[in-house]
Amino acid sequence: MSVTKVKFLGKILSSIDRLPPFPMVALKVVQMARDENVSMKEIARVVELDPSITANVLKWCNSPYFGLTRKITSVQEALVYLGGKNLIEVVLMSSCEPYLKGKVEGYELDEGELWRHSVGCAILAQLLGRKAGFKDETLLFTGGLLHDIGKIVLAAFIKDAYLKIKELIAAGKDFLEAEREIVGIDHARLGARIGQKWKFPEEIINIIAFHHRPEMINKPAVALVHLADAGTLMLGVGAGVDGLAYRASPKAYRMVGLKEKDLMACMADLWEELDKIEEMIGLKKAEN
Amino acid sequence: MARIVVGIADMKVSNNPEDILVTHALGSCIGVAVYDPVAKVGGLLHFMLPDSRVNPEKAKQNPYMFCDTGVPRLFKTCYKYGAVKKRMIVKVAGGAQMMDEAGHFNIGKRNYSMLRKLFWKNGVLIHAEDVGGTVNRTMELIMATGEVRLKMPGQEIKIL
């Protein structure tokens, strides 16, 4: 590795340390949701410990998306009316939003674009998971939301390198390889470092680390998020300067027993879901 | 001047010379802009997928999602506003691809070949196009002139 790259890498890794810590409560909820011995009531009690997540949960639960006729005023009530799965998803979105909703300059993503992409990928991963008979929907949702977390840190370092990246892509490299070539690390590996720092469970770190290279780890959850990411990029949802310049892995289909037509059918389903969720989380693009 | 946004799986038709029809971020999706310079009627369709048979239920709900159900509607709606088929100028953009030599992520290419097939069957010529590659495209149809503009991240505006 060249001296500049090593210098870059040191800077990048130290900027991870400056990220605000991931909410403890959300981390706890992810762990609890995956433990069969924990009741949803206990999860709701943990959620209540974080006032800003609670405020968001109440705001979103009362949005037209859920169509409830009465006003929800507590997390316990939200649990009763929405059910555990919805509550967990709202908690996760609320915890991830502050990191992902801003403008990501190096990738030329306007405010809200990376967030839309992440939410779209999370939903599509679940739709594909259902088709493939994959049970752990919380894992798919969390992995989908966080797969591109590395971009928020890497953006500042690739910002001035666009011309060089373009050359590399014209020469047949994909965006991930171009990132590595220029700054010494790609957004997937960097995202995994962030996940480690935040003490995410290993399965989620694997999704982040291998979402562009599922064949290197051979786990169904990683393959599903890979397909969901590809589907969301193909729909142009939150694709920036990198566009579709990533290698897609045909093996991912085989790992979960799906075909391209299943992906297309799920993309059609995503369209409606995403429209509704964007309204709930205030992401609807102004009509201008 | 009104900017009218055409969403994903959406279509807008206009006969107001002050309008600009715009659709953002065509990835593998395809944007079809049609314009009759005499009637000054035009429309923009943003379809997602080639064939409505993969999800007939969704096609019923929103025909603009698919090439085979969306494109006929685009033309028919323009006819209602007075456009005439033989005068219509047709421009196409989008259909980008992931990098995949084996061809299992070919939605962009499939979208484009379905469109070509449909146009060939109906005797429609494409006047200009910018398709394929790995870039996202934003497409605008200027109703006053019928001009079609494309914007790609990190590039100058291109007139199609």
Residue A284 has pLDDT above 70, yes or no: no
Task: Average the pLDDT over each of A20-34, B15-29, B82-96 and give the range with the smallest value.
Answer: A20-34
Split at pLDDT 50, 70, 90, the class of A279 is confident
SS3 (DSSP) at B32: strand
Which positions 69-98 of B are in contact with A (Cβ < 8 Å)? 96-98
Query: What confidence tens digit (pLDDT) does each residue in A29-42 have?
Result: 888 888 888 888 89
What integer is the mean pLDDT of A137-153?
Answer: 94
Q: Which of A168, A226, A247, A271 to mutate to test the interface with B (most CBs of B within 10 A)?
A: A271
Q: Which residue of B27, B49, B105 is in closest CB contact with A236?
A: B27
Tell me what the pLDDT averaged over chain A comes to.
Answer: 89
For residue B79, give Cα distances in angstroms to A156, A166, A186, B76, B84.
50, 43, 51, 5, 6
Note the pLDDT of residue B95. Answer: 97
In a domain, residue A206? The reply is: yes
Q: Tell me whether residues B105 and A246 touch, CB distance under 8 A.
A: no
Instruction: Tell me how long chain B is.
Output: 160
In a domain, residue A268? The reply is: yes
In a domain, residue A37? The reply is: no
Q: Tell me whether residues B99 and A247 touch, CB distance under 8 A.
A: yes
In a domain, residue A29? The reply is: no
In a domain, residue A139? The reply is: yes
Note the pLDDT of residue A286. Answer: 42
Note the pLDDT of residue A175. Answer: 93
Task: Average the pLDDT over each of A71-85, A112-126, A134-148 and give the range with the smallest value.
Answer: A71-85
Q: Which of A251, A267, A287 to mutate to test the interface with B (most CBs of B within 10 A)?
A: A267
Residue A288 has pLDDT above 60, yes or no: no
What integer is the mean pLDDT of A137-162?
Answer: 91
Q: Could you list the residue range(s) of the whole structural domain that residue A152 is in? A: 3-20+101-278
Q: Tell me whether residues A268 and B49 touch, CB distance under 8 A.
A: yes
Q: Would you call B123 an interface residue with chain A, using a CB distance cutoff of 8 Å? A: no
Split at pLDDT 50, 70, 90, the class of A273 is confident
Q: Tell me whether residues A237 and B49 touch, CB distance under 8 A.
A: no
Q: Which residue of B54, B98, B135 is in closest CB contact with A230?
A: B98
Q: How many CA atoms lie within 13 A of A121 on its CB side?
A: 34
Note the pLDDT of residue A3. Answer: 64
Q: Are A145 and A26 in contact (CB under 8 A)?
A: no
Query: What confidence tens digit (pLDDT) does each residue in A213-272 have?
Result: 999 999 999 999 999 999 999 999 987 889 999 999 999 999 999 999 999 999 999 988
Q: What is the CATH number of the domain that holds A235?
A: 1.10.3210.10
AA letter at A38: V
**Active site (annotated) includes residue B78:** no
Q: Which of B13, B29, B30, B44 is catalytic?
A: B29
Note the pLDDT of residue A220. Answer: 97
Note the pLDDT of residue A285. Answer: 52
In a domain, residue A288? The reply is: no
Looking at the structure of chain A, the number of domains it has is: 1
Note the pLDDT of residue A287. Answer: 40
- Which 3-state string (H, E, C) describes A172-234? CCCHHHHHHHHHCCCHHHHHHHHHHHCCCCHHHHHHHHHCCCHHHCCCHHHHHHHHHHHHHHH
Note the pLDDT of residue A1. Answer: 60
CA distance B137 to B134: 10
Q: What percent of chain B stands above pLDDT 90?
A: 91
Query: What confidence tens digit (pLDDT) does each residue in A63-109 have?
Result: 887 888 888 899 999 888 888 888 899 899 989 999 999 999 888 88
Split at pLDDT 50, 70, 90, the class of A2 is low
What integer is the mean pLDDT of A192-207?
Answer: 94
In a domain, residue A174? The reply is: yes
Query: What confidence tens digit (pLDDT) does each residue in A155-167 have?
Result: 988 887 888 888 8
In a domain, residue A153? The reply is: yes
Size of interface A-B (CB pairs under 8 A): 112
Q: How far does B122 lie from chain A, in Å, by closest CA?
A: 26
Q: How far does A68 lie from chain B, in Å, by closest CA?
A: 24
